[in-house]
Structure 1
Amino acid sequence: MKLRLEENSLRLRLSEAEVQQFAATGRVAVALPLGPTATDTLTYALERAESEEFRVTYGAGAVTVKVPATLAAHWTGTDQNGLAATLLVAENQTLRILVEKDLDCRH
């Protein structure tokens, strides 16, 4: 899974295998070591949530994007390429979330 951060946006791109894992388990995560100890790790994850809204949580070196279960099921079960949402994270500050399938080109 690829993570891309830009000003006011967070984008996750999942391989075909990761999309299948997300469909089956409701979670896919990557741990990126940034130093010599286990606490020096950034974990980013995509999770299926029972809520009706997209959410992002951050804490203790982990960023998690939570996608409503109904949207997640439709996205993983169809040829729909992406999901998008804009969240209000602070007063007058939004964060654009993009979750996309990063599928190989098929010619």
Structure 2
Amino acid sequence: MKLRLEDNTLRLRLTDEEVQQFAQTGHLASAVPLAPGPDGRLTYALQVADDDSTAAEQTLRVAYTPGTLSVLVPASLAQSWLAPDQIGLSATMRLTDGNELRILVEKDLGCRH
């Protein structure tokens, strides 16, 4: 799974195999070591949200704690994205400081490495 951060955009791209794993488990994670020691790594994940019962949460969102970045996908949205004809998901999340974060999750089906 590729993570790309640029300006106010967070983008995840998944290979076909990673899409299949996400379909089976509802979770996919990768880690990047940024410094020595156990606290020196960034873990990023795509996961089905635990609760997508409210209309306000029927969109992609991000959960962040130091060292961990998770893109949360409501179950109904994840199910439709897993259909063969659906390539990407996108949303804009409003942040408390007035900024916005654009979130993109895409199938990288042409990637074969």
What TM-score results when the alignment is normalised by the length of structure 2?
Answer: 0.87
How many residue pairs are counted as aligned between the two chains? Answer: 105
Give the Å deviation of 1:91: 3.5
The residue number in structure 1 matching 2:73 is 67
The residue number in structure 1 matching 2:12 is 12
The residue number in structure 1 matching 2:22 is 22
Give ranges in structure 2 of 5+ residues lacking alignment.
53-57
The residue number in structure 2 matching 1:58 is 64
Give ranges in structure 1 of 5+ residues lacking alignment.
none
Q: For 1:85 and 1:55, locate their aligned partners in 2 and report how far apart those are by CA, in whole Å.
A: 8
More strand by share: 1
Q: Provide the alpha-carbon RMSD of the alignment.
A: 1.2
Q: For 1:22 and 1:102, locate their aligned partners in 2 and report how far apart those are by CA, in whole Å.
A: 14
The residue number in structure 1 matching 2:55 is none
What TM-score results when the alignment is normalised by the length of structure 1?
Answer: 0.91
Identity among equivalent positions (%) equals 55
Moved over 2 A (4+): none
Q: For 2:99 and 2:35, locate their aligned partners in 1 and report how far apart those are by CA, in whole Å.
A: 31
CA displacement 1:17-67 (0-9 Å, x = unmatched):
110111110000001111221110000000111322322111130100001
